[in-house]
Structure 1
Amino acid sequence: MTFYLYFVEKYTSPKFIKQFILWLPAFVVFVFFPAMQSGVGTDYETYFQYFFNHDHDLYLKKNEILYFYIIEFSNFFGDPQVQFIIVSVIQGFLFFLLLYLLKQNGYKAWLIFLIYFLCTGMYHNQMNGLRQYICIYIVPILAIFAYKNKFISLFNFSFISFFIHASSLMSSVLIIIFKRLNNFTLYKKNILFFIFLLTAPIYFIDFKSIFISALEFFNLRFISYMDTRYVEGAGYSKIITKFYYLPIVLLFWFYYLRDNKSDTGMNHFFILIFSFTYFMFLQSLSFELMLRVWSYFNFFLIFPIYYVLQRSSNLTFFLILIYFLIFYIVKVLIFPVAEYEYHFYSDWF
Structure 2
Amino acid sequence: MLYILFNSISLFFCYILDMKSTSLVKILIGFMFVLCIYFLPSVQYGVGTDYFSYMNIFYDHSQLLYIFKKNEFAFYYFTLFVSSFASFETYIMIIVFIQSVLIFFTIYYLKKKGLASFSILFLTFFCVTNLMHTQMNLIRASFAMYLFAISFIFYADKKQILGVCICLLASLFHASALIVLVFLLLPRRFYILISKNLFFVYTFSFLLFFFAPLDLVLKLLIDTIAPNYSFYFFGGAPSVSFLNILSKVYYVPLHFVLFYLVRKRSIIFTDFQSVLVGMWCLISNVYLLMLSFDFLSRINYFFVFFYLVPISLVLHKFWLCRNRFYFAFWAGFIILPYVIKVIFFPIAEFSYNTYLF
Instruction: Give the TM-score normalised by the residue count of structure 1.
Output: 0.87
- Aligned pair 1:39/2:49, yes or no? no
**Pairwise CA distance, 1:158:** 1.5
**Pairwise CA distance, 1:72:** 1.3
**Pairwise CA distance, 1:11:** 4.5
User: What is the match of residue 284 of structure 2?
Assistant: 278
User: What is the match of residue 94 of structure 2?
Assistant: 86
Q: Distance in 2 between matches of 1:117 and 1:154?
A: 24
Q: What secondary structure, in the 3-state scheme, does the structure 2 residue paired with 1:266 have?
A: helix
- Aligned pair 1:237/2:247, yes or no? no
- Label 1:307 to 1:35 Cα distance change in 2 as closer, same or farther (>3 A): same
**Pairwise CA distance, 1:250:** 1.6
Q: Is the 8 A contact 1:9 1:108 kept in 2?
A: yes
Q: Which amino acid aligns with 2:310?
A: P
Q: Is the 8 A contact 1:50 1:80 kept in 2?
A: no
Encode CA deviations 1:146-168: one digit per residue, 9 max, x unaligned. 12321332132122101111111
Q: Is the 8 A contact 1:48 1:81 kept in 2?
A: no
- Label 1:182 to 1:228 Cα distance change in 2 as closer, same or farther (>3 A): closer
Q: Is the 8 A contact 1:231 1:289 kept in 2?
A: no
- Aligned pair 1:343/2:356, yes or no? no
**Pairwise CA distance, 1:51:** 3.0
Q: Distance in 2 between matches of 1:336 and 1:290?
A: 25
- Label 1:240 to 1:35 Cα distance change in 2 as closer, same or farther (>3 A): same
Q: Which amino acid aligns with 2:330?
A: I
Q: What secondary structure, in the 3-state scheme, does the structure 2 residue paired with 1:23 have?
A: helix
User: What is the match of residue 33 of structure 2?
Assistant: 26
User: What is the match of residue 220 of structure 1?
Assistant: none
Q: Distance in 2 between matches of 1:184 and 1:326?
A: 34
Quick one: which of 252, 271, 283 aligns to 1:265?
271
Q: Is the 8 A contact 1:115 1:302 kept in 2?
A: yes
**Pairwise CA distance, 1:141:** 1.5
User: What is the match of residue 72 of structure 1?
Assistant: 80
User: What is the match of residue 328 of structure 2?
Assistant: 318
Quick one: which of 298, 302, 324 aligns to 2:304?
298
Q: Which amino acid aligns with 1:97?
A: F
Q: What secondary structure, in the 3-state scheme, does the structure 2 residue paired with 1:32 have?
A: helix
User: What is the match of residue 171 of structure 2?
Assistant: 162
Q: Give me the identity figure in percent.
A: 25
Q: What secondary structure, in the 3-state scheme, does the structure 1 residue paired with 2:88 have?
A: coil
Q: What secondary structure, in the 3-state scheme, does the structure 2 residue paired with 1:287 have?
A: coil
**Pairwise CA distance, 1:236:** 1.1
- Label 1:63 to 1:197 Cα distance change in 2 as closer, same or farther (>3 A): same
Q: Distance in 1 between matches of 2:316 and 2:20?
A: 20
- Label 1:311 to 1:51 Cα distance change in 2 as closer, same or farther (>3 A): closer
Q: Distance in 2 between matches of 1:98 and 1:261?
A: 22
Q: Which amino acid aligns with 2:247?
A: T
- Label 1:131 to 1:233 Cα distance change in 2 as closer, same or farther (>3 A): closer
Q: Distance in 2 between matches of 1:79 and 1:5?
A: 32
Q: Is the 8 A contact 1:178 1:272 kept in 2?
A: no
Q: Is the 8 A contact 1:309 1:317 kept in 2?
A: yes
Unaligned runs of 5+ in 2: 1-9
Q: Which amino acid aligns with 2:355?
A: Y
User: What is the match of residue 133 of structure 2?
Assistant: 124
Quick one: which of 64, 67, 70 aligns to 1:62?
70
**Pairwise CA distance, 1:332:** 1.2
**Pairwise CA distance, 1:105:** 0.9
Q: Is the 8 A contact 1:131 1:165 kept in 2?
A: yes
Q: Distance in 1 between matches of 2:19 and 2:287?
A: 37
- Aligned pair 1:137/2:143, yes or no? no
**Pairwise CA distance, 1:183:** 4.6
Unaligned runs of 5+ in 1: 218-222
Q: What secondary structure, in the 3-state scheme, does the structure 1 residue paired with 2:353 have?
A: coil
User: What is the match of residue 246 of structure 1?
Assistant: 252
Quick one: which of 2, 7, 16 aligns to 1:7?
16
Aligned length: 336
Q: Distance in 2 between matches of 1:179 and 1:19?
A: 33
- Label 1:287 to 1:261 Cα distance change in 2 as closer, same or farther (>3 A): closer
Instruction: Give the TM-score normalised by the residue count of structure 2.
Output: 0.85
- Aligned pair 1:289/2:299, yes or no? no
* Structure 1 ranges of 4+ moved more than 6 A: 227-231
Q: Is the 8 A contact 2:341 2:350 kept in 1?
A: yes
**Pairwise CA distance, 1:3:** 0.9
- Label 1:74 to 1:323 Cα distance change in 2 as closer, same or farther (>3 A): same
1:105-254, aligned counterparts within 5 Å? Answer: 105-106=113-114, 107-177=116-186, 179-185=188-194, 188=196, 191-204=197-210, 205-208=212-215, 210=218, 213=222, 226=232, 232=238, 234-254=240-260
Q: Distance in 2 between matches of 1:83 and 1:125?
A: 17
Q: Is the 8 A contact 2:156 2:275 kept in 1?
A: yes
Q: Is the 8 A contact 2:111 2:121 kept in 1?
A: no
